[in-house]
Amino acid sequence: LSAEAEGTQRALGEAGISSMVLETELLCEESMGFFFMLMELSVASLGLVYQIDPFNQPGVEQSKINTRTILR
């Protein structure tokens, strides 16, 4: 998996695509909570930059409705 991750990082770099690697010494509830919060804040911030409302995506809501219908 490490070689695959490194290969992906190299391919993205060679294609001029920005990316980042996040590492944690301890995989636990607290570190995952920090990670999820970081991602949520990043998405919200990027939404503002690109003038997209990341909290009002109709495809997401429709997907939830479809899933509930299928599970009934």
Model confidence band, residue 23 (pLDDT cutoffs 50, 70, 90): confident
Check: CB of residue 23 under 8 Å from CB of residue 35.
no
Please name the residues in contact with 47: beta carbons below 8 A apart, sequence gap of 6 or more.
53, 54, 55
Phi, psi torsion values for 29, nearest 5 degrees: -60, -40
Model confidence band, residue 55 (pLDDT cutoffs 50, 70, 90): confident
pLDDT digit string, tens, across residues 24-43: 888 999 999 999 999 999 99
pTM of the model as a whole? 0.54
pLDDT of residue 72: 92
Query: Is the model's pLDDT at 58 over the cut of 80?
Result: no
